[in-house]
Amino acid sequence: MKKNSEKENFLRKWLKNIIFSGDCLCSVDESVASLLILAVHCGAPKVRLLIEVPGFALGEKIRNELLQWADCAGFSPEVLLLPDGTSNGRKLMEQEIPRAQILDRVLNSPPDILITSAAAELSPVPDPERMRHSELTIRTGMTLSPEKLAELLTRMDYDDEPEVVQKGEFARRGGLTDVFSPAADAPARIEFFGDTVESIRLFSATTQLSTGEIGEYKVIMRSGAGEPDGSDTDFSSYVRLYSPRIVTLFPSECEGVLKRFASETMQKNWQELHRDPLWSKAFRLLDELESAQVPADRKVISPVFPSARHILEMIPEGAEENVAELVRQISSSLIRQLSEEHYSIRITGRTEGDLTALGEWLHAEGLEDLPGLDCQQLPIPKGIFLPQEKIAAFSEYELYSSPRRLASGRKDVSPPAETDFRKLNIRDAIDETISSDLEEGDHAVHLNYGICIYHGLKIITDKQNTYEAIELEFDDDRTMYVPIWQAQCVSRYMGSQKGAVKLSKIGTARWNKVKSEAADSVRNLALDMLKMHAIRCKADGTAFPNDDLAQHLFEKSFPYTETADQLRAAEEIKKDMESSRPMDRLLCGDVGYGKTEVAMRAVFKCVMAGRQAAVLVPTTVLAQQHYYNFLERFAEYPVIIETLSRFRSKSEQREIIAKLKAGSVDIVIGTHRLLQQDVDFHNLGLIVVDEEQRFGVAHKEKLKRLRATVDVLTMTATPIPRTLYFSMSGMRDLSTIMSAPVQRLPVQTIVSQYDEQLIYGAVSRELQRGGQVYFLHNRVQTIDETADRLRAIFPDARIAVGHGQMDEEDLEKVMGAFIEGKTDILVCTTIIESGLDIPNANTILIERADRFGLAELYQLRGRVGRWRRQAYAYLLLPQHGILSGDVRKRISAMRKYTHLGAGFKLALRDLEIRGAGNILGAEQSGHINAIGFSLYCDLLRTVTAQLKGEDTTLKRECNVYLEFVEYALKASPGKAPAAFPPDYINNDRIRLDAYRRMNQLTTPEQLEELRKEIIDRFGRLVPEAENLFLCAGIRVIGMSALLSTITCSGGRILMSRGQELIKINGKIPVLPDLGTPEAKLRMLKGMLEKFFPKKENGI
């Protein structure tokens, strides 16, 4: 046996020699279709390819595999996939922008390979000439007015928004226009000087900050979906323009798709059919397929393993029933047979370590000396036959008993280099946009007066000045106008209670009493948490050993690429475990973001050190799900895993408990049954708790006692607000996973009136690709009728009903059957809102979506899309009836924010509050409701700092009064106005946020960052804004110098620190009379900088 790791490999050599010519129809095995496409491309690399496949999901799979094969062979073709544009004659709004992007590429710079489905080709597209005519390349120096650009973008169907965050949006602010073209990877900020484009800068849609200048930016039509009424064309008009070679894969299945379309269309009358362009297109394609001559079956390429119907012929006599053993015996038998037939056999591994392991396997099987056998370092995704060359290649996937071993070669098995996780660009928690989230009609909290209703910003004219104010409504219809420069005093009210919120009364002591009670409770909470933290710091726990080779191999065998958040969280947890202090860490992250894998790494570390690990979950169904996941992940290791729940008989439970006490069980997964008195461990080292808030008080008390001696890792799927995260810093260790897994696709959201044809199409497509469906009907009284209606539509589907009023045991059986794939459609209520993680369920239909809140809709949509397969959420609305403004806003937001992590862009503050309540407990939730979340976090942060003995003096406010400045849009004569004018920052929400942020800054560096951001986003500072920054700079200098007040009156500069009057060189400083108030303002700031230099104040 030879070992070969050279780059020039058999695959590349074969691909360079194979020749295909002309268009073709290929009935190839699906598992090697992608390699066949690559072969066609390599045979004529300069010829563009159009690959026709039956459906989008298959096209997606083929594209991913094709890129893997190309990488193995050292080629790098560009491969694009055209999304479907319609479904059941309805335009798919969520695919408009992706289709526009692909159509633009086809017109201007066609990719090497374009994959398209039958449905995508049937979907109407804009006429190519209209697409070309609508293109606009904006260049620096060109003549173009902001008004003209806005008009063009509106005509191209772009959405006019306050901020640009997604493709197909633009925002105009004076001499600046932001735009995000579907043809670009980032949005651009166009700055004008009159009617001339002065500069073009790319910027981040997340931070809104510029990232670099460019010379030109291409803008194309927002939508790549034409109208189904025949006013547009079909994709063939684009195909004619770049004349690709066409390869139709699986022609019989493509034919089936077209026939299904035709049969559905037949429901229309013949007159309608004659005019329907989609019908005409479908039948034209159908005629082409039926008349085409499929070439004789020439086995150019096929999968290395035989089809299922031939497996029995290959099983050696005496083969064991164990599947892993069966795979091993078939592999061994096949390799011997191929060697006897004089095949060159390539056994491939991804790393040098894999080649060594493969050599050991071949030696154990007695195969290493077979003629023609060669091991090569090459990460092919699966084995293949090349019959004409008499070559057979095996990937390690086919040879090992567990597919999970496939991943072990994806990464180097050597220990990882030291990583400074503090430098990773990770968002530890949700962005704080408390005030900026305020919209008219929202409940708000004034720091000094209590809960009120926000009625927007108003222009107030008072004597000789004009200023902006925040209009607030309190109880008894009393209105208060708060000057906008005091924006930091007003925040959005966020509480976990549902129903009406009681407004505060002005002029009573009630609000101060409520704040005082909350402060006392917060202090007690902080004391308890710090006390527990101190006990753990002094306790003698288990110091687990540092990572060894086994730990590294276990982590490398993870079959997916970890996110930076996962890596950071895993390192934080393992570092805690290696300390002698008992760990008590909270791991936060959305469902499906990889918390379980992080926990498994901690469990592996524990078990490999000879200690036991327990995984505690709130329900029996979740216990079973975790049990299956752990069995699969730990399959390659000699680890004994058991589950303890009501699914086990009493005798089985007794047996497992006895094994736990004896130490013959390494990992146990169970419900609260694990916390009962009769359960004892031999040497428990780690407890993993999933969703602790769902356990009872007694169970939590036992966990609290265990925390003092045993490492505890608690997982929660509820988002944790950044304010709470930092308020609790030092009291409880927190890790967050906020980024979605690599290759996770955003859920496509379709909003429609209730339509049985739509439902039929959505469910049928999911079932045809072997998936499962949630159908949410949230009324228990009529849920069985809904299930019967679906049974009539889908007579062959396995349909079950699940809701919260069912007997617990029956419900668990229903949910368990769905988890195991024994049910196709689950008709259910909102019991699925949290907890379950079923990768195979990727379509959800939500009936009466108008009755759900935004947070509920987001979480329900989150039940699907846990895998690499495209997921769909259908929000079904009543056929008749008018939706309220709030409902329209919620539905619109759900449709618009479909990208990953969009939940944190939506106003999901009730989720955050739920997260706060889950961590802090029911009593604290009550105080959060009483005073609002923002104020609660301020109290917690302050109390915690005081109890820890930290110096909080730097956070003291410095009040500034200058007789020659007014915080106004228009000032009195002789005074300088200081403000952000509405015509400079033209969005109320963003302007309010700018004031709030400015007033919360405490250092000159922070103020300068804000100044740069404002200039970047809104252009050169207007005089009023320049004055405002000077005033803020004076305040920051005063805070840094620990001053309480800075007053400038009668030419004297009066400064105090508490009761002390501050003098400079024994005198009260005097401000020279420089004429204009603006000049005085600049002079005052300069004098203060000299009085209190940065180096003396540590800033």
Per-residue pLDDT for 903 more than 50?
no
Nearest residue to 120 via CA among 293, 291, 265, 261: 261
Confidence of residue 421 (pLDDT cuts 50, 70, 90): very low
**For the segment 693-734, what is each residue's pLDDT rounded down to a tens digit?**
667 656 666 766 776 678 989 887 665 555 455 545 556 678
Confidence of residue 905 (pLDDT cuts 50, 70, 90): very low
Give the C-alpha separation, 487 to 503, whole Å: 19
Angle at 1062 between CA 1058 and CA 1066, to 5 degrees: 150
**For the segment 34-54, what is each residue's pLDDT rounded down to a tens digit?**
777 777 777 777 888 888 787
Residue in this structure with the two tokens 């000057």, named with its chain if needed: 483
Q: Helix (H, G, I), strand (E, B), or coil: what is residue 862?
A: coil
Per-residue pLDDT for 81 more than 90?
no
Confidence of residue 657 (pLDDT cuts 50, 70, 90): very high
**For the segment 729-764, what is each residue's pLDDT rounded down to a tens digit?**
556 678 888 777 766 677 777 888 888 888 888 898
For the chain, the average pLDDT equals 77
What's the pLDDT at 369?
83
**For the segment 792-842, what is each residue's pLDDT rounded down to a tens digit?**
999 999 999 998 788 877 887 888 889 888 999 999 988 776 556 788 899
Highest mean pLDDT among 122-136, 303-317, 1024-1038: 1024-1038
Distances (CA, A) of 702 to 676, 696, 705: 9, 10, 5
Confidence of residue 242 (pLDDT cuts 50, 70, 90): low
What's the pLDDT at 368?
81
More confident residue, 323 or 1026: 1026
Long-range CB contacts (within 8 A, 24+) of 901-906: 901/738, 901/739, 901/740, 902/746, 903/590, 903/719, 903/858, 903/862, 904/430, 904/431, 904/719, 904/738, 905/165, 906/854, 906/858
* % of the chain with per-residue pLDDT over 70: 72
Question: What domains lie within the chain, and their CATH numbers?
Answer: 19-128+226-291 (3.40.50), 136-219 (3.30.2060.10), 305-409 (3.40.50), 443-508 (2.40.10.170), 524-737 (3.40.50.300), 748-899 (3.40.50.300), 953-1097 (3.90.1150.50)
Per-residue pLDDT for 153 more than 90?
yes
Residue in this structure with the two tokens 């200048």, named with its chain if needed: 213
Q: Helix (H, G, I), strand (E, B), or coil: what is residue 1000?
A: helix
**For the segment 935-950, what is each residue's pLDDT rounded down to a tens digit?**
877 787 777 777 766 6
- For residue 259, the surrounding DSSP H or E stretch is helix 251-265
- The tokens describing 519, both together, are 């402060």
Kindly tell me the sign of the dihedral angle through the C-alpha atoms of 438, 444, 447, 448: positive
Confidence of residue 295 (pLDDT cuts 50, 70, 90): very low
Confidence of residue 929 (pLDDT cuts 50, 70, 90): confident
Q: Strands 245-249 and 772-776, how do they pair?
A: unpaired
Per-residue pLDDT for 982 more than 60?
yes
Residue in this structure with the two tokens 């004789």, named with its chain if needed: 296
Kindly tell me the sign of the dihedral angle through the C-alpha atoms of 843, 845, 849, 853: negative
